[in-house]
Structure 1
């Protein structure tokens, strides 16, 4: 286990072996430049890390506990590792030991394997009062995800928020919505949309909604719409305009076009704006925002259809629409987001979620409990 350079980290992610591990954008070196208040470490392991011969890497974010020289170590949707390897101790133990030596008192990871998934058509037909995803038999259960969960539990890791359906203890969404693109034509994608989505895309086209790729200069317009969306939909991301400007600059400095801002204009006014991130053959719709007025011209549907087409044209294997709620109750406000994404014809995927473990002895366990209490008071 060694510290590596950003160039070595990026080279591994771009290599055939690294790309096969399906790293997300939260494990790109640039993400460390986005997060303020954290110290960043880039680690690698393999036959000869110093010479660039790697089999795994990790972006580690370290948050210092005030008044101490100890850190909480967070690997968002990482490490980037071969989770099929039955001998995970060969790299996981050295990773923990390295972080302990760096002063970490606890570690949080986000293993990449999926746990189970549900097809959109199945979920739409089984929605109802009081129902949740856990009440519906999954379309598919991933044996690798099940095996990895068992291995982690056997090694003293615990799932953040427990094994409940919501994943309330996770920093990243436990349930995500993914549209498969590999092997599909644009005609397949169009037919995969439900009737309402196709009607709304046609309506946007008829009304003259124009979708364009914006620039950093358009981020203030995006942020203004985001604040409107937060107020309307009853949530608060707690991010500033500077956060998105920093993210846009960092990700695109790492690779031009890695983060794009899509705008939907109608009669010269931006009515909706969505961000999209690309790493290798994976594309994510990250954040969406829209105005309160002229919603009948369906700017958000037009945006998503354009983004799906662009992801497909770029050769992506999957279009990840990120988080969805675990509720299937149409009377709950959160269900609207799930219903909207179900219309694209993809599937809900429950990831393994995030897992934590203290490292070291009793003192670090006490510090970990104190750190959790500190976070709860913030």
Structure 2
């Protein structure tokens, strides 16, 4: 196949993304507006008949005082990753990014490698010999993913390994947890929850926990809980302005792209979460909760409401995003994994993020800078 790559308009990009059943929320045009420190560009692949057959959102991060850029395609680009001529898809991308002044390219192929069902994950957590999820036998394998990885290596791409401590990559998570919704009734999804989840949902209902959708003006209430969560779970919180910008940018593209949910008990907000939707894929994006009144189970209540709404939207998958790959009891993220496993979904390993150094000196300097951070 003869392919041409060229910049496209936001309208062309959005139309192509809308024609696909599933595209990452980081590969729609509005995501570039969420990241003001990066310059965004929409690119399209065209075949010999001038039909658009692929698209990608590129974010360019400038090096201080130099007109050189890190080019990043988070969870993209959206191309035929299993095409026999994959090199013909990526070569024009690399040429274009070089011409734009990129010294390094990072991308995240949306290619699934392995899946573990909930029982397999629970067995792995209980197995003292399994230090990482990858040590446990997967429920299913995607053999074509290994071919994609081999071809990327032959082209000079380097796979970014998950961090040694918790299994999260430096950019987007390589391991996620998803609840399949396609062709399942709400009753079937409820039966798929483990006993603790079903008990906690009922407990929240009896205690009078209510879950309502919020609006832009409710983001400060979410943010107060988010800062408390960041301190408790040991991560650096983003500023409130980031979430306000995300809401405004995504809503301008699609009024239902981003939702906010608030779980209240006796008028007090105990938990809050954001939900993103692109096509038939729904993501639980950010979550926050307070440490007190946990006995009324607001976190289970808010997730169940979001699952219900995702199902009503016709989503094929509810994506709980990143999970740890490390299964040792000392890992503080193991509790979050256990919480997500209770939904009865499946752990999924993607191909992860890949780097292509175009200038090895600058790429190495970036690696050293990121390591110090």
Say yes or no: TM over 0.5: yes
1:349 aligns with 2:351: no
| C-alpha contact (below 8 Å) 1:107/1:356 kept by paired residues | yes
| C-alpha contact (below 8 Å) 1:166/1:174 kept by paired residues | no
| C-alpha contact (below 8 Å) 1:204/1:299 kept by paired residues | yes
Partner of 1:179: 179
1:251 aligns with 2:250: yes
1:34-53 CA distance string (max 9 Å, x none): 0121111111011379x7x3
Gap runs ≥5 in structure 1: none
List aligned pairs for 1:1-378, cutoff 5 A.
1-15=5-19, 19-20=20-21, 22-47=22-47, 53-128=51-126, 129=128, 131-161=131-161, 167-236=167-236, 238-359=237-358, 364-378=359-373
C-alpha spacing 1:298/1:162, structure 2 compared with 1 (3 Å): closer
| C-alpha contact (below 8 Å) 1:10/1:28 kept by paired residues | yes
Superposition deviation, residue 105 in structure 1:
1.1
CA distance in 1, matches of 2:220, 2:167: 32
1:94-148 CA distance string (max 9 Å, x none): 0000000010111001001111111111221332446220221111111121121
| C-alpha contact (below 8 Å) 1:48/1:54 kept by paired residues | no
C-alpha spacing 1:168/1:305, structure 2 compared with 1 (3 Å): closer
State the TM-score, normalizing by the size of structure 2. Answer: 0.95
Gap runs ≥5 in structure 2: none
CA distance in 1, matches of 2:294, 2:163: 38
Q: Secondary structure in 1 aligned to 2:146?
A: helix
| C-alpha contact (below 8 Å) 1:167/1:353 kept by paired residues | no
CA distance in 2, matches of 1:288, 1:162: 22
Q: Secondary structure in 2 aligned to 1:235?
A: coil
| C-alpha contact (below 8 Å) 2:175/2:349 kept by paired residues | yes
CA distance in 1, matches of 2:171, 2:33: 18
Q: Secondary structure in 2 aligned to 1:40?
A: strand
CA distance in 2, matches of 1:302, 1:168: 27
CA distance in 1, matches of 2:343, 2:13: 34
CA distance in 2, matches of 1:163, 1:90: 31
Query: How big is the alpha-carbon RMSD for the aligned residues of Structure 1 and Structure 2?
Result: 1.7
Q: Secondary structure in 2 aligned to 1:126?
A: helix
Superposition deviation, residue 168 in structure 1:
4.8
CA distance in 1, matches of 2:361, 2:206: 62
Superposition deviation, residue 160 in structure 1:
0.9
Q: Secondary structure in 2 aligned to 1:350?
A: strand
Residues matched between the structures, number: 367
Q: Secondary structure in 2 aligned to 1:57?
A: strand
Superposition deviation, residue 273 in structure 1:
0.3
Superposition deviation, residue 313 in structure 1:
0.8
Which consecutive aligned stretches of 4+ in structure 1 deviate over 4 angstroms post-superposition?
A: 162-169
| C-alpha contact (below 8 Å) 1:211/1:302 kept by paired residues | yes
Q: Secondary structure in 2 aligned to 1:315?
A: coil
| C-alpha contact (below 8 Å) 1:265/1:272 kept by paired residues | yes
C-alpha spacing 1:48/1:207, structure 2 compared with 1 (3 Å): farther
| C-alpha contact (below 8 Å) 1:60/1:74 kept by paired residues | yes
CA distance in 2, matches of 1:165, 1:335: 12
C-alpha spacing 1:164/1:140, structure 2 compared with 1 (3 Å): farther
1:174-204 CA distance string (max 9 Å, x none): 1100000001001100100000000000000
Superposition deviation, residue 366 in structure 1:
1.3
| C-alpha contact (below 8 Å) 2:197/2:343 kept by paired residues | yes
- Higher mean displacement: 125-134 or 308-317: 125-134
Superposition deviation, residue 233 in structure 1:
2.1
C-alpha spacing 1:267/1:165, structure 2 compared with 1 (3 Å): closer
- Higher mean displacement: 169-178 or 90-99: 169-178
C-alpha spacing 1:123/1:167, structure 2 compared with 1 (3 Å): closer
